[in-house]
Amino acid sequence: MVTRFALMIVPAAADEERADFSDSFRIVDASAPALSVGELSTQRGDGVFESIGVVDGHAQEVEAHVQRLAHSAELCELPAPNLEQWRQAVAVAAAECPKGEAVVKLILSRGVEHGPTPTAWATAAKAGDFTAPRTAGIRVVTLDRGYDIAAAERAPWLLLGAKTLSYAVNMAAVREAHRRGADDAIFLSSDGFVLEAPTASLILRFGDRFVTPAPSGGILHGTTQLSVYEHLAEQGFDAGYAQIPASDLAKADAAWLVSSIRLAAPITAIDDHVLPIDPLTAGLNAFLLSPR
């Protein structure tokens, strides 16, 4: 087993049906150059991606991730990916992951400028240690995202619901959170509604009711959030979606940022509002670490 692994993929047509796509995969040295200088993923961030958690060789929520990859590709007007080919690529990469927690990344780029086909690849690597944020929690600050809640519907070319490679703004927001003494951020719309975190979904608890911002507001629909909601429903809780005014953040009994690799990180403070770590947190992370 290796700690880093890379697999180049020759994208198949979306409607191509066959049982084995292994001849469309090529293992490459993860530390060696593999992309053209004309590659649009690196020049312009013109592509989409997914990060999939892997636990002891088992890739989590694979179907949700490949379906979201296809949705992002559609929004970006990229050729539709062949879902079975990507499922098989995930399986190959996950088999090369080290024991414990790891991450498989899928990337689909528009390719070389004026090129005939997209560029696609998958990588696998050991995940970081997220014990501290899962147990001790994280502090977050709210940041203005710069558009109103209706922007995604009014301006679909902003690609607000796609998981694109253009993450410069997201990373700038995390750096700003650090400058303000926090670990992460929650984006707010310019008209005062809660959106999402730069790399995670937000879940709020109000009594026995759990709420996350509705994905219709240009929010990326989180695969981990969907898994958490299935788990909460099995526990008998009410878990739903809503447009959440920013003023409601101070009314929450508990809150989490959830994502595929960090999993459920309890929020201990939003700006100056302190929150307790909910007793459900340990159970949520135990569930998210179980095969699914």
Question: Cα(118)–Cα(121) distance, rounded to whole angstroms?
Answer: 10
Pair 94, 205 in one domain: no
Tokens linked to 260: 């595929």
Mapping DSSP onto H, E and C, the string for 160-195 reads CCCCECCCHHHHHHHHHHHHCCCCEEEEECCCCEEC
| Residue indicated by tokens 């670990």 | 183
* CB-CB contact of 286 with 135 (8 Å): no
Radius of gyration of the chain (CA): 19
Range of the domain at 233: 131-288
Q: In this structure, what are the phi and psi dihedrals at residue 219, rounded to the nearest 5 degrees?
A: -100, 140
The CA-atom distances, in angstroms, between 225 and each of 1, 75, 183, 231, 260 are 30, 21, 20, 10, 9
For residue 210, the model assigns a pLDDT of 98
Task: Specify the CATH number for the domain of residue 86.
Answer: 3.30.470.10
Cα torsion through 161, 183, 202, 152, rounded to 10: -20
Pair 116, 225 in one domain: no
Pair 90, 119 in one domain: yes
Q: Which of 100, 126, 152 lies at the terminal end of a domain, its last residue?
A: 126
pLDDT confidence bin for 292, thresholds 50/70/90: confident
The CA-atom distances, in angstroms, between 273 and each of 27, 246, 254 are 49, 12, 11
Pair 243, 144 in one domain: yes
For the segment 169-173, the average pLDDT, to the nearest whole number, is 97
The CA-atom distances, in angstroms, between 206 and each of 203, 213, 255 are 10, 14, 9
Q: Is the model's pLDDT at 73 over the cut of 60?
A: yes
How many folded domains does the chain comprise?
2
For residue 217, the model assigns a pLDDT of 78
For the segment 63-73, the average pLDDT, to the nearest whole number, is 97
Q: Which of 59, 93, 126 lies at the terminal end of a domain, its last residue?
A: 126
pLDDT confidence bin for 196, thresholds 50/70/90: very high
Q: Is the model's pLDDT at 2 over the cut of 80?
A: no
Report percent pLDDT > 90 for the chain. 92
Task: Specify the CATH number for the domain of residue 197.
Answer: 3.20.10.10
Pair 136, 277 in one domain: yes
79-102 residues labelled b (16+ CB within 10 A) or e (exposed): bebbebbbebbbebbbebbbeebb
Of 226, 142, 152, nearest to 192 (Cα)? 142
Pair 184, 110 in one domain: no
For residue 3, the model assigns a pLDDT of 59
- For 100-127, what is each residue's pLDDT tens digit? 999 999 999 999 988 889 999 999 999 9
- For 125, other C-beta atoms within 10 Å of its C-beta total 20
Question: Cα(212)–Cα(229) distance, rounded to whole angstroms?
Answer: 10
Q: In whole numbers, what is the pLDDT of the chain averaged over residues?
A: 96
Q: Is the model's pLDDT at 221 over the cut of 60?
A: yes
Q: Which of 126, 152, 177 lies at the terminal end of a domain, its last residue?
A: 126
For residue 1, the model assigns a pLDDT of 44
